[in-house]
Amino acid sequence: MSDTPIRIGNVSGFYGDRFSAVREMLEGGELDVIVGDYLAELTMLILGRDRLKNPDLGYAKTFLRQMEQNLGLIAEKDVKVVVNAGGLNPHGLAVALRAAIEKVGVDRSVAFVNGDDIVGRAAELGLGTPIAANAYLGGFGIKSALDAGADIVVTGRVTDASLVVGTAASRFGWGYDDLDQLAGAVVAGHVIECSAQATGGNYSFFTEIEDMARPGFPIAEVAADGSSVITKHDGTGGAVLVGTVTAQLLYEVGGPRYYNPDATARLDTVELTQEGVDRVRISGVKGEAPPKNLKVSLNHLGGIRNEFEVVLTGLDIEAKAELFQKQFEAALPERPAELTWELARLDRADADTEEQASAMLRCVARDTDPKKAGRQFTGTAVELALASYPGFTLTAPPGNGSPYGVFEPGYVDAALVPHRVNQPTGVTESIDPSPLRTDPIVDESVPSSTSTTDWGETVDVPLGTLAGARSGDKGGSANIGLWVRSDAEYAWLDETMSVDKLKELLPEVADLTVHRYPLPNMRAVNFVVEEVLGRGVAENVRFDPQAKGLGEWLRSRVVAVPASLIQKGN
C-alpha cells in the first residue's frame, strides 16, 4: 500500500480503438497500470454472435493480439493490466492469455472476474428471455485480484469506471465506506474510459488544439484522497484541457448523481483546475452510497433489418420522392412490420456538380420474418428502375438484410448477482456487494434559471460560438451536454437553454420527453432526451444511431447571443 499517486493509462475506449495504443502507452513514459474499455451495447451483440459460432470465443480478440505483441514489454516495465475485454467469456480469454504468456516465456499471472452473465437466470429475476443479460459489476473484484498479486485482470461486464475504481482501491486500501475516494476514482475512470475523447477527440473546439493528427491516450494520476490529475504522455498529440475533461464528463450521463456499484459520484461537486500544460486536476468530488440494484444490459433479437437508398437529382425532389414511395409500397409483395422513409435534402439549387444537385431517399424495413425484410424488399426497389422518376439510381445492389438486436436496461438487486474473482492460484473468491447500498435518489429535472438579466444588444450567431457540446446514447435515449467557459456565459446559458428552447432548436425531439440538469461547477447544462434512438443503437432508427452528432447539430443552430459575450474573445 502506498500514498504515491497511481498512474493509470487508458489504451482502449471501444472494441476497434487504435490497435497500437498499448505499445504507444508502454513506450511513451512511466505507467503503473494500463486499463482498457472494450465493451458497449453493440459489442455485446457482436461477442454473442462470436460465441454462438465458437463457444471458446465471446471475448475481444483484438486485446489478445495486443497482449501477444506486448507481453515482453509489459513484463519488462512491470505494468499491470486491467481490462473488461473478457466480454461474455472472461474465462476463455484468461485461458488464451495464459497460453500466450507461456509461449512468450514471461512471468505474468492472470486473474479473471465473472458472474455478470445472468442470462440463464433472466426469467427467474424478472428480466424476460433475452439472448444476453449482463449485470454491471463494481471494482472490488478487480481490487481483490490485484491484492492477491495478479498482473493481468480481465473481466466481463463491469462499469467502465470500475477499471479505475478497483485499481485505485487496491493501491490505497480503500473500503466500501471510503465514498468520497471511490467517487473521485469513478469520475477519473469516466474521464479516461473513452480514450482520446479526453485528449481532444470529438471536442467541439478542436480547431484550438495545435496538433490533432494523432491524439495521445489519457492518463489518470489518482491520489489516495480520490483526487486525480488527467494528463497524457509528453510528445503525443491532442491536449488535456479543462474543456476536454468537461466534455468527457458530460458524455452519456444523466443528472448530477452518477451511479456506480461502489459509490454514487456527485458530478455537481466536481472541481476542475488547469494545473499546467496537459494537466487538469479533478478535486472536490463527493460520494454517496451506491444504489441497491445493479443495472443489467439486456439484449434481445429484434428481427431482420434491411435498407436501400435511392438518389433524387435536380428539380421536383419532393414530387420524385412521393412518386417512388407510392410506387414501391404498392409493389411490395408483403409489407414489413416496420417501414420507415427518410428524405435527406442534401441538394442545392443551380448546383455546380451533380452530387450537390442530389438528395437521398432512404427506406428501412424491419420484421421478424426474414422474407418480408429480405431480398424481396430490396428487389422490389430494383424492379422499379425503369418505371419511376427520371434519373432513378440506387446507391447499392439489393441485399438480404441482417439480424439486429434490441437493447434495454434492466435492474436487479446486487445481492442476487454473483461477483466472482478467479485468482491466479485457481481459488475462486466471492465478492459481497457494498453494505451501504440504498434506494437511489432520483435527480429531478430543473427548469431554466428564473433570472431575467438584461443582456443588452444581441447578435444572431450559432450557439456553438460560445458553447461546446458532447452527446451520446444511453440505451434508447440520448444526452446532450452543453458547456461554456466563463461565469457570464454560464449565467446566459442557464437562462436561455430551457427544455422548450432545446425543442425549438431541435424540432426532431419536439414531441419527446426531455429532462434538464444544470451543473454549475462545470458551467454546464445536461439534457436527456428519452426514446430518441428507439430501442438502442443496434436497432439503428436514426441517421445518427448513437447520437454522436446531436450536440454538434445543436451548436450549429442560430440563437440570439449577447453582444457583450461575443466581444469578450469568442
Answer whether residue 39 is part of any domain: yes
Phi-psi region of 523 (alpha: psi -120 to 50; beta: other; left: phi over 0): left
Grid coordinates given for 456 = 443588452
Whether 169 contacts 182, CB under 8 Å: yes
One domain for residues 328 and 469: no
Answer whether residue 439 is part of any domain: no
Q: What pLDDT was estimated at residue 458? A: 95
**CA separation for the pair 329, 332 (Å, rounded):** 5
Whether 331 contacts 301, CB under 8 Å: no
Total domains present in the chain:
3
The CATH number of residue 342's host domain is: 3.30.70.380
Instruction: Using DSSP bridges, classify how beta strands 110-114 and 420-422 pair: parallel, antiparallel or unpaired.
Output: antiparallel
Answer whether residue 286 is part of any domain: yes
One domain for residues 488 and 394: no
One domain for residues 306 and 174: no
Answer whether residue 453 is part of any domain: no
**CA separation for the pair 556, 549 (Å, rounded):** 11
Give which of 220, 224, 139, 143 is closest to 181, Cα–Cα: 224
Torsion of CA 195, 198, 204, 210, to 10 degrees: -100
Answer whether residue 437 is part of any domain: no
One domain for residues 396 and 532: no
Answer whether residue 435 is part of any domain: no
**CA separation for the pair 131, 393 (Å, rounded):** 39
Q: How many helices (H) and strands (E) does the chain have?
A: 14, 26
One domain for residues 266 and 360: no
Q: Which residue has the cell 471510503?
A: 178
Burial class (CB in 10 A: 0-12, 13-18, 19+), 161: buried
Residue 298, phi then psi, degrees to nearest 5: -110, 125
One domain for residues 87 and 104: yes
**CA separation for the pair 64, 85 (Å, rounded):** 9
One domain for residues 100 and 203: yes
Q: Which residue has the cell 446559458?
A: 493
One domain for residues 386 and 416: no
One domain for residues 151 and 262: yes
One domain for residues 73 and 190: yes
Answer whether residue 436 is part of any domain: no
DSSP state of 442: P
CB atoms within 10 A of CB 456: 8
Domain that holds residue 269: 6-297+410-430
One domain for residues 273 and 318: no
One domain for residues 202 and 323: no
Whether 75 contacts 435, CB under 8 Å: no
Q: What is the mean pLDDT of each run of 10 residues along the chain (570 residues)?
A: 90 96 98 95 79 87 97 98 96 97 97 96 95 94 98 97 98 98 98 98 97 97 98 98 98 97 98 98 98 94 92 98 98 96 95 97 95 96 97 94 86 97 96 97 88 90 97 90 97 96 96 96 97 67 81 97 79
Give which of 85, 199, 154 is closest to 420, Cα–Cα: 154
Q: Give the contacts of 232 (CB within 8 A, at least 6 positions apart).
A: 199, 216, 217, 218, 219, 238, 240, 278
Answer whether residue 70 is part of any domain: yes
CA angle 16, 18, 22 (to 5 degrees): 115
